[in-house]
């Protein structure tokens, strides 16, 4: 019984850490680009990098993941965000930075 309690506690702690990391990523994105909570990107929150509110990454999130691997970090930083600015993650003929400046989602080709 003690093992199940310990495993359950560890699982809950792990999920809390993941949720906190996502909040930190949203904050890092906002501070890097000056996005407001009322903007399209601000309202999207985790969906800037994820498919909806799921753990699945959209194309922009996948590009950020690759940039993080290249920098050998598990932390999203302004430096990592800058590395993917020139890419067109969602293949809509606009760079990620142009989409961010236009308040559209860089991982969603339908976001105009």
Tokens at 39, concatenated: 């903007």
Residue 112's pLDDT is 81
Tokens at 81, concatenated: 């965000």
Tokens at 19, concatenated: 């949720």
The rounded radius of gyration (Å) of the Cα atoms in the chain is 16
In degrees rounded to 5, what are phi and psi of residue 57?
A: -85, 140
The tens digit of pLDDT for each residue in 47-76 reads 999 998 899 999 999 999 999 999 999 999
The tens digit of pLDDT for each residue in 1-38 reads 555 554 444 444 443 334 434 678 999 999 999 999 99
Residue 3's pLDDT is 52
Structural domain boundaries of the chain?
2-101
Residue 17 and residue 19: Cα distance in Å, rounded? 5
Residue 5's pLDDT is 54
Residue 11's pLDDT is 45
């Amino acid at each position: 019984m003690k093992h199940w309690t310990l495993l359950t506690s560890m699982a809950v702690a792990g999920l809390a850490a993941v949720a906190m990391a996502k909040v930190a990523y949203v904050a890092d994105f906002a501070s890097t680009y000056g996005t407001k909570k009322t903007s399209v990107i601000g309202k999207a929150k985790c969906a800037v990098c994820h498919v909806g509110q799921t753990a699945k990454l959209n194309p922009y999130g996948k590009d950020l993941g690759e940039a993080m691997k290249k920098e050998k970090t598990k932390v999203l930083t302004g430096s990592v965000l800058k590395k993917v600015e020139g890419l067109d993650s969602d293949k809509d003929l606009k760079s990620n930075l142009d989409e961010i400046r236009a308040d559209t989602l860089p991982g969603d080709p339908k976001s105009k």
